[in-house]
């Protein structure tokens, strides 16, 4: 059974984030709706696809397996990903 390349990419991103030093939440008072690992995975997925925030959220909504891998009960709004990007700037990620 072949696995979709997007699924493989998401699994790889999740495994790297689990071994990273990125905390699950930015502070103890955060809403805890989404973890920083989930948001970073979506952000890295967006970067790999070379698409914008709205398109990657729409794609995740259509692909139920990605939601399961990322353990998302509710897919974040595209502005949530954009605000996460603004809080965590990187020279390796581009803002679009």
Residue 18 lies in a domain: yes
| Rounded-to-integer distance, Cα 8 and Cα 18, Å | 15
Checking if the pLDDT of 66 tops 70, the result is: yes
Residue 95 lies in a domain: no
Residue 53 lies in a domain: yes
Residue 52 lies in a domain: yes
Count structural domains, the chain: 1
Checking if the pLDDT of 23 tops 60, the result is: yes
**Structural domain of 10:** 5-87
Residue 71 lies in a domain: yes
- DSSP letter, residue 67: H
* pLDDT at residue 3, as a whole number: 65
Checking if the pLDDT of 50 tops 80, the result is: yes
Checking if the pLDDT of 73 tops 70, the result is: yes
Residue 96 lies in a domain: no
* pLDDT at residue 4, as a whole number: 87
Residue 58 tokens, joined: 């729409």
Residue 94 lies in a domain: no
């Amino acid at each position: 059974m072949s696995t979709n390349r997007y699924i493989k990419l998401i699994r790889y991103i999740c495994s790297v984030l689990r071994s990273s030093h990125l905390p699950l939440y930015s502070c103890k008072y955060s809403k805890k709706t989404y973890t920083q690992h989930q948001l970073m995975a979506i952000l890295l997925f967006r970067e790999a696809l070379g698409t914008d925030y709205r398109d990657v959220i729409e794609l995740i909504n259509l692909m139920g397996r990605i939601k399961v891998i990322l353990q998302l009960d509710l897919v974040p709004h595209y502005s949530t990903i954009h605000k996460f990007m603004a809080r965590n700037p990187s020279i390796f990620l581009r803002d679009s």
